[in-house]
């Protein structure tokens, strides 16, 4: 997975591009009979699309090693999905009738007999069981043993300039297991590398923003710079604070008291407690109380270089500080993954669900749908469904590259935001005026043009697309029931006449040019590590902001868990609960001026001056009503109170 983080140094995502990715998380992949393999049940989605006959380079060595996870389907996979839907649907008599973690496992989890049968099958094939959890059985062994266990040959395939191993046909499990197996992951080894325990690196090099700034939108006009859209434009804000965001999204007197929010990312910032406390103190946020911020971390870390571990520190810092700024009394639990790989991220989500560490989970990571693997998609969906049954809602950032065409050459959405079982959070550009007054929002999409050498014009104004909120129509996930009648048919059927999932569901501030001020310990040129602040954005900001707003809403409804929120969010569509965000709310075009240090630290390397046009998100458009940039819109002052129960 990659982090969706968008640092202000470029105004675009600094996402580490990470390798093994998940996908269309509403697949509910069933085991099906394999006509050419009697006595076996096929595990759909286990043969990757790139493992083609043309790319086949022959059988893998029998002695090569395989590490795999066999995910357990549990007692009643269909019943799990049905119950998850019922407790999340305001029109259902079971709405809000959640089970606790123990009850959920007893009703839907794998039985001891199922686990024992799966272990016996794997061992009989010559594989070694290395771990057993409530969700999976992990095994290692050689290729020959894996082929025997899963009823398929493992071949080497060309993928781009490299060669990886994958099943030559869909894997299967013995029919005698009676559907105990959901799927298997790890037979495809692209692009796994040897794992080893690493020490976390020091923080990344310091980054600072240059001024001039606005303290609120429009407070400082760039009078000496060229016009844009027929008028003088303001300098970008230095970065909004919690006070401004709380006012913009109607927090009122709610603080999130008594609500538990979890945050997942990879790795863990070694300075998070100091940074979070320093930031709160400097900006007037409530001081953290004892145990209000805690971390649940793995025993060790892997793939720190490949995943860019230090880059994830800023992600954790942003998420924690944004949640606390908007919901200052909420309890925050950071659950760090051992790496940026799916297995480790799934383990983090599993910890939250198995121990019910929180009711609201913010996740600022993901990747493109084209990189998904259906086997992992099924594993993710199962965790989300277990969470929904317990009243746990998952919020995922929708991505920072708009329709992804500029990034990948293909129009597509991001994942796991495309899951029908999570709330996908899109992004906006936010204008908060004097006195913390909400002025307007556009869909987040930025075009950038540089100042000419003579300072009299903007070169090729409005310039090229740089970044924007992810969104669009999934190619693989069927349209969920709650989007029907709200999402325009043209969007839903863009890739399939039957209709598919459209992203996002809701939105909040994301644009780095109207972003959030964050404080983090960074490494300075002299090698010292010092606390410093900078403006940040991306849907990595939008996700924790919405998670915090949901905490306010949960407090408003007496502390009762909101759970999987999408059915209720769409039921509020068209009400005063939302700002209906459009791309050009003033009708005259919108832009800000921005000045950046060339070296990211000081003026010694020179300055870059540019104009950033707002509301220019690739081919995606924020329009009246539901759209694929902001979903149903952003929270309006009436949103939080709309969750109050009579």
Element holding 225 (H helix, E strand): none
Helix (H, G, I), strand (E, B) or coil at 183: strand
Burial class of residue 579 (count of CB atoms within 10 Å of its CB; 0-12, 13-18, 19+): buried
Q: What is the pLDDT of residues 525-540, one digit of tens each?
A: 999 999 999 999 999 9
Please state the rounded mean pLDDT for residues 197-207: 76
Question: Which pLDDT score is estimated for 194?
Answer: 28
**561, pLDDT greater than 90:** yes
In sequence order, which residues have a C-beta less than 8 Å from that of residue 571 and are 6 or more positions away?
90, 91, 482
End-to-end Cα, the chain, rounded Å: 42
Distance between CA atoms of residues 245 and 547, nearest Å: 13
Question: Which pLDDT score is estimated for 142?
Answer: 97
Question: Which pLDDT score is estimated for 16?
Answer: 32
Q: Angle formed by the axes of helices 539-556 and 309-326, to 10°? A: 30
Please state the rounded mean pLDDT for residues 583-595: 95
Tokens 């104009």, residue?
611
Please state the rounded mean pLDDT for residues 105-112: 96
Tokens 């794998």, residue?
110
For the chain, what are the domain ranges? 31-185, 202-643
Please state the rounded mean pLDDT for residues 384-406: 97
> Within a 13 Å sphere around the CA of 308, how many CA atoms are in the beta-carbon half?
17
DSSP secondary structure string for all residues of 317-361:
HHHHHHHHHHSTTSEEEEEEESSSSHHHHHHHHHHHHHHT--SEE
Query: Which tokens sit at 597?
Result: 């240090």
Q: What is the pLDDT of residues 6-62, one digit of tens each?
A: 433 344 333 333 333 332 233 333 333 334 567 999 998 899 888 999 999 999 999
Question: Which pLDDT score is estimated for 597?
Answer: 96
The architecture of the domain spanning 202-643 is 3-Layer(aba) Sandwich (3.40)
Residue among 358, 355, 387 nearest 293 (CA): 358
Question: Which pLDDT score is estimated for 192?
Answer: 34
**153, pLDDT greater than 50:** yes
């Amino acid at each position: 997975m990659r982090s969706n983080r968008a640092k202000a140094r470029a105004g675009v995502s600094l996402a580490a591009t990470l390798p093994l990715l998940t996908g269309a998380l509403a697949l509910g992949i069933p085991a099906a009979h394999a006509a050419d393999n009697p006595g076996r049940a096929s595990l759909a989605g286990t043969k990757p699309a790139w493992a083609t006959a043309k790319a086949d380079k022959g059988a893998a060595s029998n002695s090569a090693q395989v590490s795999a996870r066999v995910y357990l389907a549990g007692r009643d996979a269909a019943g799990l999905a049905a119950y998850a839907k019922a407790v999340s649907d305001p029109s259902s008599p079971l709405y809000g009738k959640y089970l606790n973690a123990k009850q959920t496992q007893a009703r839907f989890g794998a039985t001891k007999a199922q686990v024992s049968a799966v272990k016996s099958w794997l061992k009989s094939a010559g594989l070694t069981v290395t771990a057993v959890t409530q969700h999976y059985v992990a095994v290692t062994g050689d290729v020959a043993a894996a082929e025997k266990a899963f009823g398929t040959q493992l071949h080497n395939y060309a993928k781009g300039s490299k060669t990886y191993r994958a099943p030559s046909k869909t894997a299967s499990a013995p029919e005698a297991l009676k559907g105990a197996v959901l799927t298997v992951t790890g037979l495809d080894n692209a692009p796994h590398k040897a794992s080893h325990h690493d020490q976390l690196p020091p923080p990344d090099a310091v980054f600072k923003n240059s001024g001039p700034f606005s303290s609120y939108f429009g407070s400082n006009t760039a009078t000496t710079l060229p016009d844009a859209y027929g008028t003088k434009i303001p300098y970008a804000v230095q970065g909004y604070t919690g006070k401004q965001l709380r006012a913009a999204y109607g927090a009122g007197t709610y603080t999130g008291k008594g609500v538990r929010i979890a945050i997942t990312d990879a790795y863990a910032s070694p300075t998070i407690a100091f940074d979070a406390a320093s930031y709160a103190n400097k900006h007037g946020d409530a001081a953290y109380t004892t145990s209000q911020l805690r971390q649940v971390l793995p025993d060790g870390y892997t793939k720190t270089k490949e995943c860019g571990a230090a880059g994830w520190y800023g992600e954790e810092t942003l998420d924690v500080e944004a949640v606390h700024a908007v919901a200052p009394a909420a309890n925050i639990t950071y659950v760090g993954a051992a790496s940026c790989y799916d297995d480790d991220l799934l383990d983090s989500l599993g910890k939250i669900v198995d121990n019910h560490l929180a009711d609201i989970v913010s996740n600022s990571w993901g990747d493109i749908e084209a990189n998904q693997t259906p086997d992992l998609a099924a594993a993710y969906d199962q965790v989300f469904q277990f969470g929904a049954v317990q009243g746990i809602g998952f919020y995922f950032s929708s991505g920072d590259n708009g329709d992804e065409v500029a990034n990948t050459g293909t129009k597509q959405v991001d994942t796991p935001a495309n899951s029908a079982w999570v709330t996908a959070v899109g992004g906006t550009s936010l204008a908060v005026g004097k006195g913390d007054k909400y002025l307007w929002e556009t869909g987040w999409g930025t075009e950038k043009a540089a100042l000419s050498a003579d300072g009299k014009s903007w070169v090729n104004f409005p310039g090229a697309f740089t970044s924007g909120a992810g969104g669009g129509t999934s190619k693989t996930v069927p349209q969920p029931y709650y989007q029907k009648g709200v999402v325009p048919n043209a969007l839903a059927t863009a890739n399939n006449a039957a209709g598919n999932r459209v992203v996002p569901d809701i939105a909040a501030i994301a644009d780095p040019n109207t972003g959030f001020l964050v404080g983090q310990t960074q490494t300075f040129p002299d090698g010292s590590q010092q606390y410093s602040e900078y403006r940040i954005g991306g849907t990595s900001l939008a996700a924790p902001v919405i998670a915090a707003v949901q905490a306010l809403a949960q407090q408003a409804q007496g502390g009762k868990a909101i759970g999987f929120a999408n059915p209720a969010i769409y039921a509020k569509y068209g009400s005063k609960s939302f700002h209906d965000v459009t791309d050009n709310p003033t009708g005259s075009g919108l832009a800000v001026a921005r000045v950046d240090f060339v070296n990211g630290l000081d003026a010694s390397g020179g300055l870059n001056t540019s104009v950033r046009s707002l509301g220019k998100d690739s081919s995606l458009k924020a329009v009246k009503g539901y759209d694929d940039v902001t979903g149903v819109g952003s929270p309006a002052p009436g949103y939080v109170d709309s969750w109050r129960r009579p």
